[in-house]
Amino acid sequence: MNLSPALNVAVRAARDAGRIALRHFDQLHRLEIREKAPQDLVTNADLEVEEILISQLKKAYPQYGILAEESGRQGDNKGLHWIIDPIDGTLNFSRGLPHFAISIALARGTDVQGGLIYDPVRDELFTAEKGRGAFLNDRRMRVSQQPHMVASLLGTGFPFRHQELKEPYLKAFREVLQRAGEVRRAGSAALDLAYVAAGRFDAFWELRLSPWDIAAGQLMVTEAGGYVSDMTGDKNHMRSGDIVAGNTDIQPQLLELLQHNKLDDLPPRPAVQKS
Protein backbone atom coordinates (compact mmCIF):
# COMPACT_ATOMS: atom_id res chain seq x y z
CA MET A 1 0.00 0.00 0.00
CA ASN A 2 1.71 3.17 -1.25
CA LEU A 3 0.02 6.32 0.00
CA SER A 4 0.48 9.81 -1.37
CA PRO A 5 2.72 12.15 0.65
CA ALA A 6 -0.29 14.12 1.89
CA LEU A 7 -2.13 11.05 3.14
CA ASN A 8 1.05 9.75 4.77
CA VAL A 9 1.22 12.99 6.75
CA ALA A 10 -2.42 12.53 7.74
CA VAL A 11 -1.74 8.95 8.86
CA ARG A 12 1.11 10.03 11.11
CA ALA A 13 -1.04 12.81 12.56
CA ALA A 14 -3.93 10.41 13.18
CA ARG A 15 -1.72 7.89 14.96
CA ASP A 16 -0.24 10.61 17.19
CA ALA A 17 -3.71 11.96 17.92
CA GLY A 18 -4.98 8.45 18.56
CA ARG A 19 -2.49 8.03 21.39
CA ILE A 20 -3.82 11.23 22.96
CA ALA A 21 -7.40 10.01 22.59
CA LEU A 22 -6.54 6.71 24.28
CA ARG A 23 -4.83 8.50 27.14
CA HIS A 24 -8.04 10.43 27.80
CA PHE A 25 -10.12 7.27 27.30
CA ASP A 26 -8.13 5.55 30.05
CA GLN A 27 -8.89 8.43 32.44
CA LEU A 28 -12.56 9.17 31.82
CA HIS A 29 -13.04 10.33 35.40
CA ARG A 30 -10.97 13.38 34.42
CA LEU A 31 -12.78 14.05 31.16
CA GLU A 32 -14.29 17.52 30.79
CA ILE A 33 -17.62 17.42 28.95
CA ARG A 34 -19.89 20.21 27.79
CA GLU A 35 -23.00 20.28 25.66
CA LYS A 36 -22.75 22.32 22.45
CA ALA A 37 -26.44 21.71 21.77
CA PRO A 38 -28.98 19.16 23.02
CA GLN A 39 -27.43 15.69 22.62
CA ASP A 40 -24.33 17.20 20.98
CA LEU A 41 -21.27 16.84 23.21
CA VAL A 42 -17.70 18.07 23.06
CA THR A 43 -14.92 17.02 25.42
CA ASN A 44 -11.46 18.32 26.14
CA ALA A 45 -10.23 15.20 24.34
CA ASP A 46 -12.00 16.29 21.12
CA LEU A 47 -10.37 19.70 21.36
CA GLU A 48 -6.88 18.38 22.10
CA VAL A 49 -7.04 15.75 19.36
CA GLU A 50 -8.26 18.32 16.83
CA GLU A 51 -5.52 20.75 17.81
CA ILE A 52 -2.83 18.11 17.26
CA LEU A 53 -4.26 17.11 13.89
CA ILE A 54 -4.53 20.67 12.62
CA SER A 55 -1.06 21.56 13.88
CA GLN A 56 0.61 18.67 12.05
CA LEU A 57 -1.41 19.04 8.85
CA LYS A 58 -0.85 22.81 8.64
CA LYS A 59 2.86 22.40 9.34
CA ALA A 60 3.19 20.07 6.34
CA TYR A 61 0.68 21.85 4.08
CA PRO A 62 0.14 25.44 5.24
CA GLN A 63 -1.55 26.33 1.94
CA TYR A 64 -4.44 23.89 2.47
CA GLY A 65 -7.69 24.99 4.09
CA ILE A 66 -9.28 23.30 7.08
CA LEU A 67 -12.87 22.29 7.85
CA ALA A 68 -12.96 20.79 11.35
CA GLU A 69 -15.87 19.82 13.57
CA GLU A 70 -14.90 21.83 16.63
CA SER A 71 -12.99 24.82 15.23
CA GLY A 72 -14.84 25.28 11.94
CA ARG A 73 -13.34 26.68 8.75
CA GLN A 74 -9.84 28.02 8.26
CA GLY A 75 -8.72 29.27 4.87
CA ASP A 76 -10.20 28.50 1.46
CA ASN A 77 -12.32 25.36 1.30
CA LYS A 78 -12.95 25.65 -2.44
CA GLY A 79 -9.42 24.48 -3.16
CA LEU A 80 -7.59 21.64 -1.45
CA HIS A 81 -8.56 21.39 2.20
CA TRP A 82 -8.64 18.94 5.06
CA ILE A 83 -11.96 17.77 6.53
CA ILE A 84 -11.47 16.65 10.13
CA ASP A 85 -13.55 14.88 12.75
CA PRO A 86 -11.28 14.52 15.79
CA ILE A 87 -13.46 11.96 17.56
CA ASP A 88 -16.39 10.56 15.63
CA GLY A 89 -18.49 8.89 18.30
CA THR A 90 -17.94 11.38 21.13
CA LEU A 91 -20.88 10.07 23.16
CA ASN A 92 -19.48 6.53 22.98
CA PHE A 93 -16.07 7.88 23.97
CA SER A 94 -17.41 9.86 26.92
CA ARG A 95 -19.31 6.85 28.28
CA GLY A 96 -16.42 4.40 27.97
CA LEU A 97 -17.76 2.58 24.92
CA PRO A 98 -14.71 1.58 22.83
CA HIS A 99 -16.22 2.49 19.46
CA PHE A 100 -14.99 5.81 18.08
CA ALA A 101 -12.57 7.00 15.42
CA ILE A 102 -10.53 9.83 13.98
CA SER A 103 -11.56 10.81 10.44
CA ILE A 104 -9.51 12.92 8.03
CA ALA A 105 -10.21 13.61 4.35
CA LEU A 106 -8.47 15.71 1.73
CA ALA A 107 -10.90 17.33 -0.69
CA ARG A 108 -11.09 19.87 -3.47
CA GLY A 109 -14.48 21.47 -2.96
CA THR A 110 -16.78 18.50 -2.35
CA ASP A 111 -14.59 16.15 -4.41
CA VAL A 112 -12.74 13.99 -1.89
CA GLN A 113 -9.27 12.95 -3.10
CA GLY A 114 -8.21 10.79 -0.17
CA GLY A 115 -9.08 9.94 3.38
CA LEU A 116 -8.48 7.86 6.46
CA ILE A 117 -10.45 6.58 9.43
CA TYR A 118 -8.40 5.45 12.41
CA ASP A 119 -9.79 3.35 15.25
CA PRO A 120 -7.15 3.68 17.99
CA VAL A 121 -8.78 1.09 20.26
CA ARG A 122 -8.44 -1.71 17.69
CA ASP A 123 -5.47 -0.09 15.90
CA GLU A 124 -7.36 -0.36 12.62
CA LEU A 125 -6.38 2.13 9.94
CA PHE A 126 -8.78 2.44 7.00
CA THR A 127 -7.47 4.45 4.03
CA ALA A 128 -8.56 5.29 0.49
CA GLU A 129 -7.39 7.46 -2.37
CA LYS A 130 -9.37 8.28 -5.46
CA GLY A 131 -8.66 5.75 -8.19
CA ARG A 132 -6.22 3.79 -6.01
CA GLY A 133 -8.45 1.54 -3.93
CA ALA A 134 -9.26 1.22 -0.24
CA PHE A 135 -7.27 -0.56 2.45
CA LEU A 136 -7.56 -1.79 6.02
CA ASN A 137 -4.03 -1.58 7.38
CA ASP A 138 -2.18 -3.18 4.44
CA ARG A 139 -5.03 -5.32 3.09
CA ARG A 140 -7.20 -4.22 0.19
CA MET A 141 -10.85 -3.81 1.13
CA ARG A 142 -13.84 -4.94 -0.91
CA VAL A 143 -17.51 -4.48 -0.13
CA SER A 144 -19.50 -7.61 0.68
CA GLN A 145 -21.02 -9.85 -1.96
CA GLN A 146 -24.31 -10.37 -0.10
CA PRO A 147 -27.12 -10.00 -2.67
CA HIS A 148 -30.17 -10.67 -0.49
CA MET A 149 -31.76 -7.99 1.70
CA VAL A 150 -33.30 -10.66 3.93
CA ALA A 151 -29.80 -11.87 4.86
CA SER A 152 -28.16 -8.45 5.05
CA LEU A 153 -26.47 -6.73 7.98
CA LEU A 154 -27.09 -2.97 7.87
CA GLY A 155 -25.84 0.00 9.85
CA THR A 156 -27.70 3.22 10.56
CA GLY A 157 -27.86 6.25 12.81
CA PHE A 158 -30.89 8.07 14.19
CA PRO A 159 -31.48 11.78 13.39
CA PHE A 160 -31.82 12.59 17.09
CA ARG A 161 -30.86 16.25 16.63
CA HIS A 162 -33.60 16.80 14.06
CA GLN A 163 -36.99 16.35 15.70
CA GLU A 164 -38.84 17.00 12.44
CA LEU A 165 -37.16 13.95 10.85
CA LYS A 166 -37.90 11.41 13.58
CA GLU A 167 -41.32 10.30 12.36
CA PRO A 168 -40.39 9.83 8.67
CA TYR A 169 -37.14 8.16 9.70
CA LEU A 170 -38.87 5.74 12.10
CA LYS A 171 -41.50 4.87 9.50
CA ALA A 172 -38.74 3.94 7.07
CA PHE A 173 -36.76 2.17 9.81
CA ARG A 174 -39.71 -0.10 10.61
CA GLU A 175 -39.96 -1.26 7.01
CA VAL A 176 -36.20 -1.78 6.68
CA LEU A 177 -36.26 -3.78 9.91
CA GLN A 178 -38.94 -6.05 8.45
CA ARG A 179 -37.03 -6.60 5.20
CA ALA A 180 -33.38 -6.77 6.34
CA GLY A 181 -31.62 -9.53 8.22
CA GLU A 182 -30.24 -7.36 11.05
CA VAL A 183 -29.69 -3.65 11.73
CA ARG A 184 -27.02 -2.10 13.98
CA ARG A 185 -26.81 1.43 15.43
CA ALA A 186 -23.23 1.67 16.70
CA GLY A 187 -22.79 5.44 17.13
CA SER A 188 -19.99 6.33 14.70
CA ALA A 189 -20.95 7.10 11.10
CA ALA A 190 -17.29 7.13 10.06
CA LEU A 191 -16.75 3.58 11.30
CA ASP A 192 -20.09 2.47 9.85
CA LEU A 193 -18.91 3.57 6.40
CA ALA A 194 -15.49 2.00 6.92
CA TYR A 195 -17.24 -1.24 7.87
CA VAL A 196 -19.28 -1.13 4.65
CA ALA A 197 -16.05 -0.74 2.68
CA ALA A 198 -14.51 -3.65 4.59
CA GLY A 199 -17.52 -5.90 3.94
CA ARG A 200 -18.57 -6.03 7.59
CA PHE A 201 -21.82 -4.20 6.90
CA ASP A 202 -23.69 -4.70 3.64
CA ALA A 203 -25.04 -1.14 3.67
CA PHE A 204 -25.51 1.97 5.81
CA TRP A 205 -27.92 4.91 5.78
CA GLU A 206 -28.35 8.08 7.81
CA LEU A 207 -29.80 11.58 7.52
CA ARG A 208 -28.34 15.06 8.03
CA LEU A 209 -24.74 14.13 8.68
CA SER A 210 -21.97 16.72 8.42
CA PRO A 211 -19.11 16.63 5.88
CA TRP A 212 -16.59 15.51 8.53
CA ASP A 213 -18.78 12.50 9.38
CA ILE A 214 -18.82 11.06 5.87
CA ALA A 215 -16.04 12.58 3.72
CA ALA A 216 -13.43 9.86 4.21
CA GLY A 217 -15.86 6.96 4.58
CA GLN A 218 -17.91 7.59 1.45
CA LEU A 219 -14.73 7.53 -0.65
CA MET A 220 -13.73 4.23 0.95
CA VAL A 221 -17.02 2.61 -0.01
CA THR A 222 -16.67 3.75 -3.62
CA GLU A 223 -13.03 2.66 -3.83
CA ALA A 224 -13.96 -0.72 -2.32
CA GLY A 225 -16.43 -1.30 -5.15
CA GLY A 226 -19.65 -0.07 -3.59
CA TYR A 227 -22.30 2.53 -4.36
CA VAL A 228 -22.90 5.79 -2.49
CA SER A 229 -25.73 8.26 -3.04
CA ASP A 230 -28.09 10.63 -1.30
CA MET A 231 -31.74 9.67 -0.73
CA THR A 232 -32.71 10.69 -4.27
CA GLY A 233 -30.06 8.46 -5.83
CA ASP A 234 -27.91 11.45 -6.82
CA LYS A 235 -24.36 12.19 -5.66
CA ASN A 236 -25.18 15.19 -3.46
CA HIS A 237 -24.59 13.41 -0.14
CA MET A 238 -21.65 15.63 0.79
CA ARG A 239 -23.93 18.68 0.57
CA SER A 240 -27.17 17.23 1.94
CA GLY A 241 -25.68 14.97 4.61
CA ASP A 242 -28.21 12.29 3.62
CA ILE A 243 -26.37 9.11 2.64
CA VAL A 244 -27.04 5.56 1.48
CA ALA A 245 -23.91 3.44 0.99
CA GLY A 246 -23.54 -0.25 0.34
CA ASN A 247 -22.57 -3.07 -1.94
CA THR A 248 -23.88 -3.05 -5.49
CA ASP A 249 -26.80 -5.36 -4.69
CA ILE A 250 -28.02 -4.09 -1.31
CA GLN A 251 -27.56 -0.33 -1.81
CA PRO A 252 -30.16 -0.07 -4.61
CA GLN A 253 -32.61 -2.24 -2.65
CA LEU A 254 -32.16 -0.16 0.49
CA LEU A 255 -32.48 3.08 -1.47
CA GLU A 256 -35.76 1.87 -2.99
CA LEU A 257 -37.15 1.10 0.49
CA LEU A 258 -36.14 4.52 1.80
CA GLN A 259 -37.63 6.27 -1.23
CA HIS A 260 -40.86 4.29 -0.83
CA ASN A 261 -41.05 5.85 2.63
CA LYS A 262 -40.46 9.37 1.24
CA LEU A 263 -36.97 9.92 2.66
CA ASP A 264 -36.09 11.36 -0.75
CA ASP A 265 -38.71 14.08 -0.29
CA LEU A 266 -37.54 15.77 2.91
CA PRO A 267 -37.04 19.54 3.14
CA PRO A 268 -33.39 20.50 2.56
CA ARG A 269 -31.44 21.54 5.59
CA PRO A 270 -30.86 25.30 5.66
CA ALA A 271 -27.10 25.13 6.21
CA VAL A 272 -24.26 22.78 7.10
CA GLN A 273 -24.73 21.67 10.69
CA LYS A 274 -22.33 20.08 13.10
CA SER A 275 -22.88 16.43 13.96
Whether 192 is catalytic is: no
Give the burial string for 97-114 (b: 16+ CB within 10 Å, else e). Answer: eeebbbbbbbbeeeebbb
Which candidate in 20, 54, 83, 87 is catalytic?
Answer: 87
Cα–Cα distance, 108 to 55 (Å, whole number): 20
Which candidate in 50, 129, 192, 213 is catalytic?
Answer: 213
Under 8 Å CB-to-CB from 40, ≥6 apart: which residues? 161, 274, 275
Task: State yes or no: 69 annotated in a binding site.
Answer: yes
Whether 69 is catalytic is: yes
Whether 248 is catalytic is: no
Which candidate in 70, 88, 230, 242 is catalytic?
Answer: 88
Whether 87 is catalytic is: yes
Task: State yes or no: 85 annotated in a binding site.
Answer: yes
Which candidate in 90, 156, 222, 232 is catalytic?
Answer: 90
Cα–Cα distance, 112 to 10 (Å, whole number): 14
Which candidate in 85, 206, 223, 242 is catalytic?
Answer: 85
Whether 84 is catalytic is: no
Task: State yes or no: 243 annotated in a binding site.
Answer: no
Which candidate in 50, 69, 129, 249 is catalytic?
Answer: 69
Whether 76 is catalytic is: no
Annotated binding site: 69, 85, 87-88, 213
Which of the residues are catalytic? 69, 85, 87-88, 90, 213
Annotated binding site for Mg(2+): 69, 85, 87-88, 213
